[in-house]
Amino acid sequence: MSAKKNIVIIGAGNPSGSAGIHTAQGLSKALNPAEWSIQLVSNRQFHVHYVAMLRVLITNEGELAPKALNPLDKVFDAGKPGEIVYGEVVSVEDGAVNLDDGKKLAYDYLVIASGTTWDGPLAIPKTVEEKDKWIAEWREKFAKANDIVILGGGAVGAELAGELKHFYPNKHVTLIHAQESLLNAVYPPKFRKRVTDNLRSYGVNVILEDKATVPTQPYTSVTTEKGEKVDADLVVPTWGGHRNTGYLTSFDSTIITPEGNIRVLPSLRVPLNSGKTNVYAVGDVIDWDEQKQLAKAPAHAGVVVANILASIKGQTASKTYKGAPMGELCSVDEAVNR
């Protein structure tokens, strides 16, 4: 009897991990467990739903933590191929993924879904115990602060500002963003202006086309690059996340863009310098002109699952990604219209 072949999927603990989970589940349902195994690698003991996590970090209202932080023990159906492997990927080589504990995971196909790392409140620790402490600490910070300055007005910063003004309407909240409107250029200008205007009407002090950095403790204010001074007893960085792809540099540096994204073909296959065709990428890490959103995960996964299954059968991997509808799960409009 020949040995089982294996698919390794990197990423299950972050938003891109949703694409990894969708991919793992799609492949698991289709493959014969006598012939195939699937290893889904997670550097956290749980999956983080960042859309809900901002509210969890502010309040226990609605008791959203169990929904925002999901255990991974039910990803795979009983009797189907699939296991969770906990660890940090330190490098990838041709045919193997290396973990920080010394494990080497051999692969016939590799799917990269390692996502984005964040600064500030969304730098969620990786163990259950550390996560609970982190949530309690940030809730206390937000509760005690009177003058909160948020640095970065992308989707995370705008959402956080709206949540804070909803739950703490008497606190002073300032949002500093480098561009002429909140969010980024992937969103339509009218939508960006509406979000900006709505937050201002809700009482958020929005400062545009300016920047600031987190001052050294202790501080009582923040001064922007243009010289505007803002009272602050809590400064929260929410600028864009960093792609978690550094471990791929020694594998094939040609596939990584200067921004840290992974180059992909429309099939979401990674064009390796070696010419091999068994590596794919999904989620935040792909170099694709679209907003990085959780809602894109099923579409990414659908393409990769179809193409890997076709390849296994000896067929052409012909399914292509054409983009997915853009949605913004943001409570700002809901908050200002309550």
The model's pLDDT over 1-57, given as tens digits with 9 standing for 90+, comes to 468 999 999 999 665 468 999 999 999 999 999 999 999 999 998 989 887 899 999
Residue with tokens 């509210």: 55
The structure's pTM equals 0.90
Residue 77 has pLDDT above 90, yes or no: yes
pLDDT at 291 (0 to 100)? 77
- Check: CB of residue 199 under 8 Å from CB of residue 182: yes
Largest Cα span, the chain:
72
Q: Which amino acid is at 105?
A: L
As a whole number of angstroms, the distance between CA 301 and CA 280 comes to 10
Burial of 244 (0-12, 13-18, 19+ CB in 10 A): buried
pLDDT at 334 (0 to 100)? 46
- Check: CB of residue 163 under 8 Å from CB of residue 52: no
| pLDDT (tens digit per residue) in 291-327 | 777 788 999 999 999 999 999 999 999 999 998 766 5
pLDDT at 336 (0 to 100)? 36
